[in-house]
């Protein structure tokens, strides 16, 4: 999953970015509202984390413009402790959630997961497809109750397919949501990682859950 972080305090932005990357998110960072709006329009973020006090264009103005442009990506606002007015205004102009600075990182992670689940209409942190269980909170993957060890990239790919379960996901969409713009990925890489996943998830498990949809992409589903 891809997160757009718009935060002008560079030290804080770096800490949040690192923490998110450790959770296997792909993170784009903007340091002002104008750059943030450009990135929201042009990169396929799954969640936007938006600081309200920003240079060039403040967060509330940026959010208003973003919603006017029809960009419906879920937004978590970061607000100062005493800014009740900003919180109310932000929620009214289309923010989905807010966190008051300073916040505990684990709470930010839980709110991100919650917004992603809402967006894809999944209700719990654990996503089940047949006897495959993917716990998006602690990244544990089990099939038939047996733990499966995945690399960070394999997990990110499986999690993305799981959030979109029963839907065909194209290679382009996978690259946009789980790899960095600058990582020079072509769609063959997706096929390679799908093969790794198949070996760990489907091989010897009886029923196949990872399906190739010819000419379209991949789908995680229980037949």
Contact set with Ca ion (CB under 5 A):
8, 51, 53
- Backbone phi and psi for residue 149, each to the nearest 5 degrees, phi listed first: -95, 125
CA distance 48 to 40: 8
Min dist CB 103 to Ca ion, Å, is 14
The Cα–Cα gap between 201 and 196 comes to 9
Give the whole-angstrom CA distance, residue 212 versus residue 125.
26
Closer to Ca ion by Cβ: residue 8 or 23: 8
User: CB 60 → Ca ion: shortest distance, Å?
Assistant: 12
Of 39 and 209, nearer to Ca ion (C-beta) is: 39
Q: Which CB sits closer to Ca ion, 49 or 66?
A: 49
Tell me how far, at minimum, the Cβ of 180 lies from Ca ion, in Å. 24
Least CB distance to Ca ion at residue 192 (A): 40
DSSP code per residue over 88-144: HHHHHTT--EEEESS--HHHHHHHHHHHHHHHHT--SSEEEETTEEEETTT--EEET
The least CB distance from residue 51 to Ca ion, in Å, is: 4
Q: 3-state class of 69 per DSSP?
A: coil
In this complex, which beta carbon is closest to Ca ion, that of residue 54 or of residue 122? 54
Q: How many CB atoms lie within 10 A of CB 60?
A: 22
The residue with its CB nearest to Ca ion is 53
Cβ closer to Ca ion: 34 or 173? Answer: 34
Q: 116, 90 in Cβ contact below 8 A?
A: no
């Amino acid at each position: 999953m891809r997160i757009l972080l718009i935060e002008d305090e560079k030290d804080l932005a770096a800490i949040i970015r690192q923490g998110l990357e450790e959770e296997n998110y792909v993170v784009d960072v903007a340091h002002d509202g104008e750059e943030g709006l450009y990135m929201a329009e042009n990169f396929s973020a799954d969640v936007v984390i938006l600081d309200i006090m920003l240079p060039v264009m403040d967060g509330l103005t940026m959010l208003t413009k973003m919603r006017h442009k029809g960009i419906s990506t879920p937004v978590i606002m970061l607000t100062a402790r005493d800014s009740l007015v900003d919180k109310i205004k932000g929620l009214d102009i289309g923010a989905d959630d807010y966190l008051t600075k300073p916040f505990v990182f684990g709470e930010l992670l839980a709110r991100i997961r919650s917004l992603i689940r809402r967006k894809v209409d999944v209700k719990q942190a654990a996503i089940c497809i047949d006897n495959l269980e993917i716990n998006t909170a602690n990244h544990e993957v089990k099939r038939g109750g047996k733990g499966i060890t995945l690399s960070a990239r394999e997990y990110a790919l499986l999690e993305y397919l799981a959030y979109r379960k029963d839907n065909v996901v194209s290679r382009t969409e996978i690259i946009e949501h789980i790899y960095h713009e600058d990582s020079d990925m072509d769609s063959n890489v997706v096929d390679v990682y799908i093969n790794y996943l198949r070996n760990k998830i489907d091989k010897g498990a009886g029923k196949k859950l990872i399906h190739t949809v010819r000419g379209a992409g991949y789908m995680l589903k229980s037949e």
